[in-house]
């Protein structure tokens, strides 16, 4: 989640400089994982079928303590870079320790981006522009797979669960050093996870199920949960749970986060704020032969056209956010290519249920039916996306493609209006982020449709910070927001959207449904994948039925790159691993 738009869409026309702070919510990234140990093995069997309907031969992780193990990588192993993790998902990500793609050493990559990083305190920062950088410095115990549907071992090589499902024992890699040469031990891991659980920075909800953490020996970590908690492995892959040195390596917290050290492929170098941030190669990195690059720089280039020109002129190798409007323009450039990576970004319409008539389900349904999602995909994404049907997205486990979401249908919309308390219509205001292309198209398309229902909708453009504030204070009628997952488990979004404890006031809509809350809470505590799927299927249908947060569309992450860039891959959470990237 994040404050800044990862630039995913759109020529934010007025995108003045740093702005893509367009919406609060949602963008977060993260490493992925999968709720429930051993699910990985099961999902591997499912391939990338978007509806992870359990197959009968999948052994239920609820019934056996599952173990995932990673290969030994290091000087002691002759086959150091080889073996595939047994028991881990077969869909290993490009960055899986087990599969290191070949590449040439040397060279530097410049990534052009619309806005600068904000800060590097992982317990406080929500900006993707910060997180995408810091995951090159720090690593997590588990990591998400390329398809975003499984979790793989990373700094932890394997784990076992007690019979009552409350105690998890993790074995840590023994060959990992921080970039200053200090070996990483369980004390560092405990310190890092405790820090993420106790700091009131907004991320602590991720670890809310953890009761305590103990360290029987330097390479063993025991996590006890307060209750059965299926998303734990996915949670451990969340960037906020990255591993930092115990007690910040003797520095103050503030000093540490101004020039952090970690176990990742790159180390801190320089940050010319508002301009350029550079990381250089970690010579103590534990994955043999990596990283290939000598350095990576993120250069702040607010202007969409200028970023494209830099790719054309080779002054940058990667453009982190080419607007969809320019994707075709770049297709014809020799030596450059645009890749659309499947993402978890989903856009939603917010209706404030604290204000009449949005507390009336018929009004909400009428409005949801009145959204021409196909038109939005054409105008906002230039065809690069699909209309959304569910709160969840196809790139997370437990998404149900058969969720009966409302599609554009003015006849049904009128019928719902007739059933509502305001059959003749009403006046309302759409809170729009100025310069945001989604808002500008959505508000106009919606305005025209709502007119047919007798609803007069004014459009009130405000700047990003004002939007955050007004949405957070439930001071709006209709607005728009989006979400990007940080972990490979729907729980992160479901908590935020449905549960009061999620801190999101139901995505700022004040939606309050006991039935939805009960389904969400049960699903968190269910390890059996088939049962969990059934719960989430029910939940998605219920949310659609209630026309809570009408989903608009699913969109990919567009990236423009020089063809010389090898192995660059963006996961559905938005994370990418520069450790395996090389230049041809």
Partner 1 sequence: MKYFLYVVRRMVTLIPVGLGITLLVFLLLKIVPGDPAVTLLGTHVTDAGVAALHQQLGLDRPLWQQYLTFLGKLLHGDLGESYQYQSSVSSLVLQNLVPTIWLIVTGALFAVIIAVPLAVWAASHRNGVSDNAIRTIPLIGLGMPAFWLGIMLVLLFSLKAGAFPASGFGDGFANHVKSIVLPGLTVALALVPILVRSLRASMTDVLQSDYITTARAKGLGGARVVFGHALRNAAISSITVLGVNVAYLVGSTLVVEKVFALNGIGYLMINAIFNRDFPIVQGITLVFAVMVVLVNLLTDMTHAAFDPRVRLA
Q: Which residue ranges make up the site for partner 1 (CB under 8 A)? A: 1-3, 16-19, 21, 24-26, 28, 112, 115-116, 118-119, 124-127, 200-203, 205, 254, 258, 272-275, 299-303, 305-306, 309-310, 312-313, 315, 462-466, 468-470, 472, 475, 496, 502-504
Distance CA 284, CA 281 (A): 9
Pick the closer one to partner 1 by CB: 31 or 467.
Answer: 467
The answer to whether 117 and 129 have CB atoms below 8 angstroms apart is yes
Distance CA 223, CA 203 (A): 18
Shortest Cβ 318–partner 1 spacing (Å): 15
Pick the closer one to partner 1 by CB: 246 or 297.
Answer: 297
Pick the closer one to partner 1 by CB: 250 or 313.
Answer: 313
Phi, psi of 189 (to 5 degrees): -65, -45
Pick the closer one to partner 1 by CB: 18 or 459.
Answer: 18
Shortest Cβ 112–partner 1 spacing (Å): 8
Shortest Cβ 42–partner 1 spacing (Å): 30
Shortest Cβ 45–partner 1 spacing (Å): 34
Q: Rg for the chain (alpha carbons), in Å? A: 23
Shortest Cβ 491–partner 1 spacing (Å): 14
DSSP assignment of 386-407:
EE--SSS-TTSTT--TT-----
252 CB-near residues (< 8 Å, 6+ apart): none
Pick the closer one to partner 1 by CB: 217 or 294.
Answer: 294
Torsion from C-alpha of 439, 440, 446, 451, nearest 10 degrees: 140
The answer to whether 264 and 138 have CB atoms below 8 angstroms apart is yes
Shortest Cβ 178–partner 1 spacing (Å): 23
Distance CA 88, CA 66 (A): 10
Helix (H) or strand (E) holding 296: strand 295-300
Pick the closer one to partner 1 by CB: 456 or 563.
Answer: 563
Place of tokens 């190669």: 281
Distance CA 22, CA 462 (A): 10
169 CB-near residues (< 8 Å, 6+ apart): 159, 160, 161, 162, 220, 221, 222
The answer to whether 338 and 559 have CB atoms below 8 angstroms apart is yes
Pick the closer one to partner 1 by CB: 26 or 109.
Answer: 26
78 CB-near residues (< 8 Å, 6+ apart): none
Shortest Cβ 327–partner 1 spacing (Å): 18
Question: C-alpha distances in angstroms, 353 versus 339, 458, 479?
Answer: 39, 18, 12
The answer to whether 109 and 559 have CB atoms below 8 angstroms apart is no
Shortest Cβ 258–partner 1 spacing (Å): 8
And the tokens for 508? Answer: 């700022």
Pick the closer one to partner 1 by CB: 94 or 110.
Answer: 110
Shortest Cβ 204–partner 1 spacing (Å): 8
Pick the closer one to partner 1 by CB: 13 or 84.
Answer: 13
Shortest Cβ 270–partner 1 spacing (Å): 11
Pick the closer one to partner 1 by CB: 63 or 270.
Answer: 270
And the tokens for 314? Answer: 């080779």
Q: Is-cis flag, bond preceding 291, omega within 30? A: yes
């Amino acid at each position: 989640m994040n404050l800044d738009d990862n630039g995913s869409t759109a020529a934010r026309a007025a995108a003045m400089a740093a702005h893509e702070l367009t919406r609060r919510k949602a963008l977060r990234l993260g490493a992925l994982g999968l709720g429930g140990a051993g699910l990985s093995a099961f999902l591997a069997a499912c391939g990338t079928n978007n509806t992870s309907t359990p197959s009968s031969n999948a052994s239920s992780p609820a019934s056996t303590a599952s173990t995932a193990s990673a290969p030994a990588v290091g000087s002691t192993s002759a086959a150091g870079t080889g073996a595939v993790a047994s028991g881990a998902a077969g869909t290993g990500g490009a960055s899986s320790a087990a599969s290191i793609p070949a590449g040439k050493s040397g060279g530097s990559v410049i990534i052009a981006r619309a806005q600068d990083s904000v800060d590097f305190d992982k317990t406080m920062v929500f900006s993707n522009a910060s997180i995408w950088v810091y995951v090159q410095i720090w690593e997590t115990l588990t990591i998400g797979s390329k398809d975003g549907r499984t979790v793989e071992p990373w700094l932890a090589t394997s784990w076992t669960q007690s019979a009552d499902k409350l105690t998890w024992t993790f074995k840590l890699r023994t060959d990992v050093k921080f970039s200053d040469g200090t070996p990483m031990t369980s004390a560092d891991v405990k310190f890092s996870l405790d820090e993420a659980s106790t700091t009131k920075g907004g991320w602590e909800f991720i670890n809310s199920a953890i009761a305590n953490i103990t360290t029987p020996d330097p390479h063993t970590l025991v996590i006890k949960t307060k209750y059965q908690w299926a998303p734990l492995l996915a949670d451990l892959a969340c960037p906020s749970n990255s591993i930092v040195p115990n007690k910040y390596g003797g520095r103050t917290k503030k000093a540490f986060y101004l020039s952090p050290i970690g176990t990742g492929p790159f180390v801190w170098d320089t940050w010319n704020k508002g301009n350029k941030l550079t990381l250089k190669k970690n010579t103590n990195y534990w994955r043999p032969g990596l990283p290939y690059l000598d350095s990576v720089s993120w250069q702040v280039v607010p202007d969409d056209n200028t970023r494209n020109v830099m790719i054309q002129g080779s002054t940058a190798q990667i453009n982190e956010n080419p607007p969809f409007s320019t994707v075709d323009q770049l297709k014809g450039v020799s030596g450059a290519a645009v890749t659309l990576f499947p993402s978890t970004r989903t856009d939603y319409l917010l209706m404030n249920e604290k204000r009449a008539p949005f507390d009336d389900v018929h009004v909400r349904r009428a409005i949801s039916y009145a959204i021409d999602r196909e038109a939005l995909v054409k105008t906002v994404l230039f065809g690069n996306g699909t209309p959304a049907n569910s709160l969840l997205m196809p790139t997370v486990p437990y998404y149900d493609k058969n969720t009966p979401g409302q599609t554009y249908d003015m006849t049904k919309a009128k019928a719902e209006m007739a059933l509502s308390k305001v059959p003749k219509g009403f006046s309302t205001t759409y809170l729009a982020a100025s310069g945001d292309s989604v808002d500008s198209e959505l508000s106009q398309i919606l305005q025209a449709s709502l007119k047919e229902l007798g609803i007069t909708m004014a459009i009130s453009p405000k700047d990003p910070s004002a939007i955050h504030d007004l949405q957070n204070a439930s001071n709006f009628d209709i607005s728009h927001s989006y979400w990007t997952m940080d972990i490979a488990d729907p729980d992160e979004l479901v908590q935020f959207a449905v549960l009061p404890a999620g801190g999101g006031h139901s995505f700022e809509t004040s939606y309050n449904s006991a039935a939805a809350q009960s389904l969400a809470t049960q699903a968190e505590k269910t390890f059996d994948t088939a049962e969990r799927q059934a719960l989430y299927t029910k939940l998605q249908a219920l949310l659609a039925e209630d026309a809570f947060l009408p989903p608009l569309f699913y969109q990919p992450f567009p990236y423009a790159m020089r063809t010389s860039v090898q192995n660059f891959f963006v996961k559905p959470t938005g994370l990418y691993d520069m450790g395996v990237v090389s230049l041809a």
